[in-house]
Amino acid sequence: MLKRTFLFTLFIFIGLGASAQKPINIGFVDMEYILENVPEYQQASSQLDERVKEWRNEIEQKRNEISEMKTRLQNERALLTPQLIEEREEEIAYQQEQATNYEQKRFGPKGDYMIQKRQLIKPIQDQVFNALQEIGENRDFDFIFDRNAESGMLFAKKRFDLSDQVLRSINRASNRKQIETKQEERELERAEARTAEEDEELSQREQAIEDRKSEREALIEERRKKQDSIKEARQKAFEERRERILKERKQKRDSIEAARNRKDTIN
Which residues are CB-contacts of 98 (< 8 A; sequence separation ≥ 6)? 62
Query: Could you say which of 173, 190, 220 is where a domain stops?
Result: 173
Provide the 3-class DSSP secondary structure of residue 23. coil
Chain centroid to CA 64: 32
Q: pLDDT tens, 24-60?
A: 788 888 888 888 888 888 888 898 999 999 999 999 9
Rounded-to-integer distance, Cα 264 and Cα 74, Å = 101
Domain count, the chain: 2
Q: Note whether 76 and 137 are same-domain residues.
A: yes
Judge whether 147 and 30 are in contact, CB under 8 Å: yes
The pTM assigned to this predicted structure is 0.51
Q: Note whether 130 and 219 are same-domain residues.
A: no
Judge whether 149 and 2 are in contact, CB under 8 Å: yes
Query: Could you say which of 173, 189, 221 is where a domain stops?
Result: 173
Rounded-to-integer distance, Cα 164 and Cα 171, Å = 10
Q: pLDDT tens, 206-240?
A: 788 888 888 888 888 888 888 888 888 888 877 88
